[in-house]
Amino acid sequence: MVLGVDGISDFDALQSGKHNDEVQLHAFDLLAGEDDDYRKLPLFLRKQNLARLLVRRPEGIHAAPFEQGEIGPDLFRAACKMGLEGLVSKHRERAYRGGRCDHWLKIKNPAHPGYSRVQDAHGARVEKNT
């Protein structure tokens, strides 16, 4: 990601390639390490392994925060107010599964420019907050 002057991620700046010296990596999950396959572990254990791996991380590499509990609606409103594209919510007890599945949700901010790009690409099939 590339952070704007306001500290909020700027997807267009990342896509442009003009700010490559400012790019930061925010890791969300760890699927394997030290010859071990972590995909069968629940998300919270994979996040713990990721945090341990990144303890002595180079500058610009971060473990993405993991918010827990029943904070979804408040967190989504805050993300929209900040102008973020949306949120992904995953069940902490579930193993990793590639592709879309029933234990994680991606909810887009309808006011974000990325939302209109999805609408343009998929036409009327896209509904609000999908």
Domain ranges of the chain: 1-66, 68-130
pLDDT surpasses 50 at 129: no
Give the whole-number percent of the chain exceeding pLDDT 90: 22
Q: Which residues of 10-36 are buried (b: 16+ CB within 10 A; e: fewer)?
A: beebbeeeeeeeeeeeeeebbeeeeee
Beta strands 36-37; 32-33: pairing state: antiparallel
> What's the mean pLDDT when you consider all of the chain?
83
pLDDT surpasses 60 at 125: no
pLDDT surpasses 90 at 10: no
The pLDDT-based confidence of 126 (bands split at 50, 70, 90) is very low
Strongest mean pLDDT among 22-36, 52-66, 92-106, 112-126: 22-36
Residue with tokens 């994680």: 104
Q: In the 8-state DSSP scheme, what is residue 44?
A: H
Residue with tokens 């400012």: 22
Tens digits of residue pLDDT in 25-73 = 889 999 998 899 999 999 999 999 999 999 888 888 988 877 777 777 8
